[in-house]
Chain A
Amino acid sequence: MSRKEEVLQDVVIKFAGDSGDGMQLTGSQFTNNTALLGIDLATFPDFPAEIRAPQGTLPGVSGYQLRFSSDRIFTPGDECDVLVAMNAAALKTNLKTLKKGGKIIANTDGFDTKNLRLANYPDGINPLEDGSLGNYEVIKMDVTKMTREALKDITMGTKEKDRAKNMFVLGFLYFMYNRDMESTLHFFKEKFGKKADILESNTRALQAGYNFGDTTETFTTTFRVEKAKMEPGVYRSIMGNQALAYGLIAASQKSGLPLFLGSYPITPASDVLHELSRHKAFGVKTFQAEDEIAAITSAIGASYGGLLGVTTTSGPGMALKAEAMGLAVMMEIPLLICDIQRGGPSTGLPTKTEQSDLLQAYYGRNGECPMPIVSASTPSDCFGAVYEAVRIAIQHMTPVIFLSDGYIANGAEPWRFPKSEDLPSIEIKFKTDLGHGEDKFQPYLRDEKLVRPWAIPGTAGLEHRIGGLEKQNITGNVSYDPDNHQLMVKIRQEKVEKIAEYIPEQKLDSGPATGKLLVLGWGSTYGAIKSAVAEMQEEGFEVSHAHLRHLRPFPRNLGDLLKSFDQVLIPEINNGQLIKIIRDQYFVDAKAYNKIMGVPITKTELVMKLKELLAPAS
C-alpha cells in the first residue's frame, strides 16, 4: 500500500487518560524515542494529586504533554495538535487545549455509557457520535478490544491484559510518526525482564498498535519531524529533579565533600530522594527522616561533621524547616535547602506548579535571617544552578536556598551534558590547626569575604561550641550585649550581600541593552518568556529579556540594567513576589503579569501582554 510521508516542523501531543491508564509512562517513552532522534523537545506532565482518583472521573485525568520540533523550542506548547483521549473524561478536560483542526485519537471503549456518565455528559450524548467534534479530525479505535485480541494467547487476567492498552496507543503513535520502536522494546526488557508474561503482553500490545496503523488503509499519511539544529555535541534527555540530583553528586565529587541528604517525602520533591538513594556508589548517604524538621536538622548535623548537608522539600516542608534554617544562619555552616515549589498555601495544589515560595525563601524566618537564593530556569538548568548553590554554600559558609518548581522538576528536555573535567572546581578549606600567633581558636573570626573558619569535630586543638544563641563577634561565645547583637546582625547581612562580588553580572538573554521594555523573569517562566520575546522581536518590537539565576543577592549590575529600560515587566506564576523585592530594592516601577492557576504561563498570553505594553490602544 502506498503511503505518503509529510514533514512537520513542530508537533504537540497530549496523552490523556485515567490516572491508572499509564499516560505518564506512554508520554515519557515517546519522549525518549524522540530525544534519541535529535529532535528538540519539551514536556509537561500534569497529573492529579490522588494516586488513583475515582476511575473515569474528571479529577482522575492524568495528562502528559510533549512538544517536539526541528527548531529550538523552550516550552511544551500552548495548544496541542494531537490529543490522545483514553476516555470521555480525558477528552472533556483537554479539548480546550486542542487546536482547531487537530487530531483526536479516541479509545471508543472509554466512551461507553458508564464513562460518559462519569465525565458528566448528559444522558444519551456521546461527543464521538453527536457531531460536536466537527472541527477536529477524530480517529476512533477500540483500544481495549484490540489489545485483548492481540493478547488472547497469553495466559493472564483481563485486568492485567488491559494494563497494556497504553502500549497499543504508543505503538500506533510510533506508526503515525514513522518511528523505530527499539528504544521502548529495550525499556521493556530492562523493566520487565524477569516477568516474562508482562514483557510479552507489553511487547505484543505495542506491536499490535503499530501494525493496526500500518495495515489499516485509512491512515494514508505518516509524519516526520527532522532533527533540530542544536549546538553540536552529545545530548541526553533529562528531567529537572534528576538534573538536580546529578548536580548535587557532581558538586560532592568535585568538592570532595561526601553528600548527605536528609529528606522527608513530599510532592514534587521526592524524586530527588529516590534518585540520590540509588547512587551509593558515589558515597551518597540518604536519610529518610521522620519529618521535615529532622530532615533538615540531620543535614545540619552532617554539615557540622564536615559533609555536604542537603535537604530537599516543597513549600509546606520548607515552612516546617524555617527555625532550623535560622540555626544554620546563626552557626554559619554550609547547607543546601532545595525547595521544589508547588501550588499553595497550606497543602494547596501538590501536583501543580507555582513560584509562590520566593517571599518565604526571602523572609520566612524569625529574626533578621538572610540567606542566599539560587533558582533554576529549565529542567537541565537544575544541574548548573544547584552546583552554583553548593559552591556558594561552601565558599561563603552559609545555608543556601535552591528554588525549582513542579513544572521544571517533572519536565524533560535534551541536555548537552558537561564533562566532569570542565566543571568548575569547588575548593574547601577546613581549618586544621591554630595559626601563627593564635593561642585560642576564634570560630567567628572572619576573612575578607566575612566568612568564618570551618573546623570540624575530630580536629585537635580547635574544640569549640556553637549554637543558636547570639554569638559574640570573633570568639563565638554567647553574648546578649546590645551593641554586639546589632553588629552581628549587620555582619550576617553584609556577608550575604558580599556574595554579589563573587557571582557573574546579569546578562541579557536576548534583545538590546537599553530600550523600551525589559522582561525580567526567574525560574520556570524562562521558556515562555524566551519564546514570547523572540516572537515579538521577529515582529519588529523592541523587547529584551533577562532571566535571574541569583535571587539573593542579585547580580551587582541588576539595578543599572533595570534602569536602562523605559518599562520592566515581571511575569510570575504567583501573585507578584519578585516584583515586590525589585520595587523595594531598586525603586523601579515594574509591571506585573501574574498567573496563579497551577499551570505555566503560555507564550500566547505573554505576547498579548507585551503588545499591550508596547502598543497601548489609542
Chain B
Amino acid sequence: MSEAASIPILTPKDFATDQEVRWCPGCGDYSILAQVQKIMPGLGIARENIVIISGIGCSSRFPYYMNTYGMHSIHGRATAVASGLKAARPDLSVWIVTGDGDGLSIGGNHTIHLLRRNFDVNIMLFNNQIYGLTKGQYSPTSEEQKVTKSTPYGSIDHPFNPLALALGADATFVARTMDRDPKHLQESLVRSHQHKGSSFLEIYQNCNIFNDAAFEPFTEKATKPDNTLFLEQGKPLIFGAQRNKGIKLDGFKPVIVDLGDGAGADDLWIHDERDSNKAQLLVRMFDDPRIDGHLPRPFGVFYETDRPCYEEMMELQLQEVIQSKGAGNLDKLLRGHETWTIS
C-alpha cells in the first residue's frame, strides 16, 4: 500500500464515477452511496487500493458508482470473491456490498464462512426486507405474514435476525445503522473500516417502491426516539424522546425501566462492545415494534473483538514454511525422492 503521505487529498467527488446512478428516485441506496463517498477521503487509503465487490440486487450496482476498483459479481457470491481477493492481496482495502437476498439467502453460506474465517474486509449489508430488483418478492428478512407478489396470502417464513446470525458465525464486528441517519451511518462505516477483521454492518435501507416505510418506526422523527436505542461504548442504555427510559438486566432478561420512577442510571445496563455474553442478549433485542411493550431496536456497534485474520495467518504459514524449508526449488520438486537413469 502507498504511504499515507503520498496520497493526494481527495474529496467525495473523486470517488464518484461518470456513470449515471440508476436507482429509483427516493431509494435509500442514494444516501448510503453519498455517505460512503463522504467518508472515503478521510480513510487515508489511495483510491487504487480500494476494491468494492458486490453480488446481484439493487444494492449491488454500487461498485459502478465508486471510482475505485470494483467488481459486480454474481448472485450471492460477493463474499466468496472477496475472500479469494483478500487472501490473494492482503494489501487491498476490500468492501463488500450485499443485500438481504444476496447475502442472507442465495449467498448465506458464503457470508457465514467469511465471518468465521475473519478476513479483514467490510460487509455492508443493505437490508430492505424485500427483493427489489426482481420486483417485490419477500426476502429472508421479511416479517411473517408479509403480503408480497410471491406471498399473496402472507409469508409463512420465519425471518432471519441478521446480527444474531453474524454473531452465531463468530463475527468479530457486528453493527447496525440506517440510511436515514447520515451521521450515524458515516460513523458506523468508519468504525467498520477501523476494525481489523470481518466487519458486519447491517444498514436498514428503505425500498420506497416495493417495501416503503418498512423501517418507519425506527427512522421517522416522531417514532424514532421511543423505538430505537443508540449504543455508545461505556454508556448506559438510555432511550426515549425525553431520554427518560433505560434498559436494565433482570437476570438475562433486558427490561425497560422508567428513569423518572426512582430507578437511577446506576442500575442500567452499561454498554460494553467487548462483552460477548451481553452481545448475545443485545442482538436478540429484536422485538416487532408493532407489539405493545416491545424493547427498542439497538443501533450502533453491538460487538467487537480481536481475532487473527485469515489472510495474515495464511501469509504467516507460507513464511514459516519458507523459513524452515527454504524457498521452493522447482527442479528438486520435479525430481522427487527416487529416480532412475536410462542410458
Interface residues, chain A, CB within 8 Å of chain B?
A: 32, 35-38, 183, 227-228, 230-238, 246, 249-250, 253, 258, 260, 262, 279-283, 285, 287, 289-291, 293-294, 297-302, 304-307, 309, 323-324, 326-327, 331, 417-420, 457-469, 477-478
B73 in complex: contacting residue of A253, A258, A327, CB < 8 Å: A327
User: Which chain B residues in 12-57 approach chain A with CB under 8 Å?
Assistant: 17, 19, 46-49, 51, 53-54, 56
Name the CB-closest residue of B to A327: B74
B318 touches A465 (CB 8 A): no
A477 touches B74 (CB 8 A): no
CB-CB under 8 A from B151, the residues of chain A are none
8 intermolecular pairs with C-beta atoms under 8 Å apart? A260-B87, A283-B322, A298-B87, A300-B73, A301-B82, A302-B84, A302-B85, A305-B92
Is B64's CB within 8 Å of the partner chain A?
yes
A280 touches B330 (CB 8 A): no
Contacts A419-B331, A465-B71 aside, 7 further interface pairs with beta carbons under 8 A come to A235-B340, A249-B333, A290-B113, A294-B113, A297-B74, A457-B48, A467-B70
CB-CB under 8 A from A306, the residues of chain B are 88-89
B71 touches A287 (CB 8 A): no
A233 touches B53 (CB 8 A): no
A262 touches B84 (CB 8 A): yes
B325 in complex: contacting residue of A235, A281, A307, CB < 8 Å: A281
Is B198's CB within 8 Å of the partner chain A?
no
B85 touches A281 (CB 8 A): no
Is B339's CB within 8 Å of the partner chain A?
yes
CB distance from A418 to the nearest CB of B (A): 7
Is B321's CB within 8 Å of the partner chain A?
yes
Q: With A231-B342, A236-B338 given, is the CB distance from A465 to B80 under 8 Å?
A: no
In Å, the complex CA distance between A601 and B116 comes to 47
Which residue of B83, B113, B322, B334 has the most chain A CB atoms within 10 A of its CB atom? B334
Interface size on B, residues (CB 8 A): 60
B69 touches A417 (CB 8 A): no
Q: With A36-B338, A420-B330, A467-B73 given, is the CB distance from A461 to B48 under 8 Å?
A: yes
Is B63's CB within 8 Å of the partner chain A?
yes
Interface residues, chain B, CB within 8 Å of chain A?
A: 2, 17, 19, 46-49, 51, 53-54, 56, 63-64, 66-75, 77, 80-89, 91-92, 109-110, 113, 314, 317-318, 321-322, 325-328, 330-331, 333-336, 338-343
In Å, the complex CA distance between A128 and B97 comes to 70
CB-CB under 8 A from A464, the residues of chain B are 69-70
Which residue of B66, B81, B314, B328 has the most chain A CB atoms within 10 A of its CB atom? B81
What are the nearest 7 A-B pairs in CB distance? A467-B72, A301-B84, A298-B84, A282-B328, A301-B85, A302-B88, A294-B80
In Å, the complex CA distance between A554 and B71 comes to 32
In Å, the complex CA distance between A227 and B343 comes to 11
CB distance from A561 to the nearest CB of B (A): 33
A420 in complex: contacting residue of B113, B314, B331, CB < 8 Å: B331
A418 touches B77 (CB 8 A): no
A38 touches B338 (CB 8 A): no
A304 touches B343 (CB 8 A): no
A417 touches B334 (CB 8 A): yes
A260 touches B71 (CB 8 A): no
A297 in complex: contacting residue of B73, B86, B92, B331, CB < 8 Å: B73
In Å, the complex CA distance between A301 and B55 comes to 13
B334 touches A418 (CB 8 A): yes
CB-CB under 8 A from A282, the residues of chain B are 327-328, 330, 333
CB distance from A332 to the nearest CB of B (A): 13
CB distance from A258 to the nearest CB of B (A): 8
A465 touches B63 (CB 8 A): yes
B69 touches A297 (CB 8 A): no
B84 touches A297 (CB 8 A): yes
B318 touches A294 (CB 8 A): no
B339 touches A235 (CB 8 A): yes
CB-CB under 8 A from B73, the residues of chain A are 297, 300, 327, 467-468
Q: With A36-B340, A234-B340, A302-B85 given, is the CB distance from A253 to B77 under 8 Å?
A: no
A293 touches B341 (CB 8 A): no
B83 touches A294 (CB 8 A): yes
CB-CB under 8 A from A462, the residues of chain B are 48
Name the CB-closest residue of B to A460: B48
A465 touches B70 (CB 8 A): yes
In Å, the complex CA distance between A146 and B73 comes to 63
CB-CB under 8 A from B63, the residues of chain A are 465, 467
Name the CB-closest residue of B to A423: B330
A246 touches B333 (CB 8 A): yes
In Å, the complex CA distance between A282 and B332 comes to 12
Q: With A282-B328, A458-B48 given, is the CB distance from A469 to B333 under 8 Å?
A: no
CB-CB under 8 A from B77, the residues of chain A are 293-294, 297, 324
CB-CB under 8 A from A287, the residues of chain B are 83-84, 87, 314
CB distance from B321 to the nearest CB of A (A): 4
A280 touches B322 (CB 8 A): yes
CB-CB under 8 A from B343, the residues of chain A are 232
A300 in complex: contacting residue of B47, B81, B321, CB < 8 Å: B81
A227 in complex: contacting residue of B17, B64, B342, CB < 8 Å: B342
In Å, the complex CA distance between A469 and B338 comes to 51
A457 touches B92 (CB 8 A): yes
A236 touches B336 (CB 8 A): yes
Name the CB-closest residue of B to A278: B321
Which residue of B68, B89, B314 has the most chain A CB atoms within 10 A of its CB atom? B89
Name the CB-closest residue of A to B22: A478
In Å, the complex CA distance between A423 and B67 comes to 41
CB distance from A604 to the nearest CB of B (A): 29
Q: With A246-B334, A463-B69 given, is the CB distance from A285 to B48 under 8 Å?
A: no
CB-CB under 8 A from B48, the residues of chain A are 457-463
In Å, the complex CA distance between A294 and B85 comes to 12
B341 touches A235 (CB 8 A): yes
Name the CB-closest residue of B to A308: B88
A465 in complex: contacting residue of B17, B49, B92, CB < 8 Å: B17
B342 touches A232 (CB 8 A): yes
